Amino acid sequence: HRQSPKTLLSSTFTNQDTDPIFNYDEESRCHVITVPSFLPNTQINDDFPYPSPLHKIHVLPILSTEETSHLLALARNHANENKSWNQQDSSRHVSYPTVDFAIDESAEISEYLGNNGIKFQERIFGALSDAFDVDADDLSFLDLFCASYEAADGGGQLTDEEGRDTMDRLEFHRDGSLLSFTVLLTPPEGFEGGGTIFDALRDVHIDGTVPILKSPGTINPPEAGFATLHSGKLLHGGHVVTKGQRVVLVGFVSVDERNTRDGALGDATKEWGRNDVRLFWDRRRLSLLKKQQRAGNNQSQPTWRIKNWRYLPKDTSERRSEKNEGRSYFGPHSIIPHKVLESIERRASQESIRKRRLITEDKMLREILLPRNERGEKVNMQMGEWKEVEFDMDGLILGWEEGNEGAN
C-alpha cells in the first residue's frame, strides 16, 4: 500500500540528488517528509550519511476522533476555569513564551492520558521509537503542555476587551529536546492558517501533490488527532493562524545520552552562536551609519573609529623598524576599512545567515544520533531504600541499599 516517493523541488542550497522526499503509507496513514540536504559536497563525511532518521518529519494518527474530541473538551474546560489561555506564559518558556498550560496542572487530563486512561505516553513513545530508531525506554518527557493559537481581530490586535493577551503564531526556534511532537486537537475546519513551519522546507516548490505541505514550508495535518513528529533541533515555528483557534498538545522528549554523540550539539550551538555575533556587529554598523547619515554623511559605509586603540600596540618608530611581527598598529585616528565593513554587512545578510544555519543544522542531524552498534549499555536505575542518615566530623554520610545488598 506504499505509494512511490515524490521528489519535491527545493532551495538553491540543496544538492540535486538529495531533494526532499515525500512518502505516504495508505495502511498506516503515515506521511513522511525528508528535509533536503544543505551540506556542501566538500563537507560531506561518508561516516555520517544522509538522510539520518532526524532528517525526517512524520505525520501520523495518534488519537482517535473520540479521544481527540474528549481531550479538547478537557483542555478547554481547564483553560477556561484557570484562565490558562488568557496570557503568554514566560515563566516556563522564557525565550519563546506560549499561551499554554502544563498537562500536570490538570489532574483530570493527566489521568485521562495516563496508564488508567488512554496510555498516551506508551503510544507516543512507541511512535517516536519507530520513527527515529530510539528505544522507547530511552525516552522521557522534558515538557508536555497544551497550547492555544488564536487569530488576531480585524485590526491585528491580540489583546481583546477582556485583557486576554493571546498569540497567533510562534517565531522560529529550536526546542531544548532532541525530539518533539505536536498533536492537533482542533479540527482543521475550526481555523485557518496555522501548522508547524520548518525553515528547511521554506523554498520547496508547492504544487498541490503533497496535501499536508503548504507554503512556505508549513505542515498541516489532515485531521485532528494527527501528530507531527520531528527533531526539536530543526528550526521550526507555529505558522500564523488567520481565523479561529488552533489547539495543540505539545511534547518535548529527551533521549538518553547513550544514543547521542558527544560534542555534536555543542559544535552546532557554537556555529549558530557565531551567526549571532555576525548580526551583533552588523547592528552596530547600521546604527553608526544611520547616525552619521542624519548628520549629513551620505557614504555607503560609516566612519568607524577604533576606540580601543589605547590597548593595542602603538605605532612608534621602534615598532616600525621591527620585522615580521605580523601585527598592525593603531592610533587615535585609525578607522575600520570600508572593505571590512562591507564584509560585515555581507556576512550578516539574511540569506547568508540562513545558509550557514541550514548547513550547521544538516551536519548536526547527521552526526548527533549514534548507530545502534555504537550506543552505550543501558543503565537500569532501580530504586533502592534510603538508610539512616548519620553525621560525623566529615559531614553528611548517606547510605543506599538495593534489596539485601548494601552499598555505602
At residue 191, does pLDDT exceed 70? yes
Q: What is the pLDDT of residues 20-46, one digit of tens each?
A: 789 999 999 999 999 999 999 999 999
Asked if the bond preceding 5 is cis, omega within 30° of 0, the reply is no
Angle subtended by helix axes 350-367 and 264-294, to nearest 10: 170
Which of 4 and 346 is assigned the larger pLDDT?
A: 346
Residue with cell 621602534: 318
Selection from 30, 23, 26 nearest residue 51 by Cα: 23
| pLDDT on residue 384 | 55
User: Per residue, what are the HEC states of 177-206?
Assistant: CCEEEEEECCCHHHEEECCEEEHHHCCCCC
Q: What is the pLDDT of residues 358-408, one digit of tens each?
A: 999 999 999 999 999 999 888 776 555 555 545 454 544 444 444 444 444
CB neighbourhood size of 300 (10 A) = 9
Percent of the chain with pLDDT over 70: 79
SS3 (DSSP) at 224: coil
Under 8 Å between Cβ of 104 and 183: no
Residue 80 and residue 162 in contact, taking contact as beta carbons nearer than 8 Å: no
pLDDT confidence band for 190 (50 / 70 / 90): very high
Instruction: Report the mean per-residue pLDDT for the chain.
Output: 85
Q: pLDDT tens-digit profile of 253-308?
A: 999 999 999 999 999 999 999 999 999 999 999 999 999 999 998 889 999 988 76
Summarize the confidence of residues 137-164 as an average pLDDT.
Answer: 80
Q: Which residue has the higher pLDDT, 26 or 16?
A: 26
Q: What is the pLDDT of residues 62-88, one digit of tens each?
A: 999 999 999 999 999 999 999 999 988
